[in-house]
Amino acid sequence: MPLPDFTNPLRAKLKGAAAGNRPAYGLWVTLDSPTVSEMAAELGVDWITIDMEHGCLDYSDVVQHLRAVKGSDTAVLVRVPATRVDTIKRVLDLGADGVLLPLIRTAEELEEGMKYGRYPGRGVRGIGGERSMRWSMKLQEYLEVADRETMIIPLIETADASDNIESILKVDGLETIFIGPADLSSSRGYLGQWEGPGVAEDILRMVRLAGEAGISSGIMAMDNDDILARAEQGFRMVGLASDVGLISRQMRPMLRDLGGRTFDNRWF
């Protein structure tokens, strides 16, 4: 019986983006219904991120979202609630293609997160997780590909991370960073602003440094114009929206046009 294909679909698309193709587009998933992920995969998004840091999603929800995209070419990432060995190990054991680590501030913090997602020799991930082995692989077969194909992506969303970006970019095994403008702005003293004064320029500086190091950059976009702008800025991984953001974007103008509420200060 042939081995299951463990090639991470996102990695190839990021390399394509680096070669001049379009960015890898994705959806941020916060709702518990796996139908959200099923629809996204069927419609052809390149990746989804299941958000366990904010909202109500737990490990049982993660499994259902993973099942919903099984057999598709959509990569599944999980934003874990914290950079802890137990959390990272469990979501990878469930079969996620990678993890996003929140609030990484230093190269040392990222190195710890990398170790939590790698097996002994490169890290401290415990042996287990029959689901990630597709219920049929021999352990040695899985171990040979797991470290290579698992993506561990730091969220660069604090002033400390920005200040330490050059050392962060030197961490062994790093392929992609994901920038969080809102938290970055807040940490610079501009609470509640998506890109406070100087933050947009800071983001472009980090994208440039990452590109020079051969590392991809990702970000969430606010609308269609922002999606195109982020691609022009060199982002290879662009989030189209969150699931609740898409619903809200559609409902707000409908309610406004029907004489209902107006929405002057939208967040997403």
Residues making up the chain, counted from first to last: 268
Phi-psi region of 259 (alpha: psi -120 to 50; beta: other; left: phi over 0): left
What secondary structure does DSSP assign to 106-132, as a single string? SHHHHHHHHHHTS-TTT--PPS--TTT
Structure tokens at 139: 């352990």
65 is catalytic: no
| 54, 70, 148, 170: the active-site residue | 54
Q: Which residues are catalytic?
A: 54
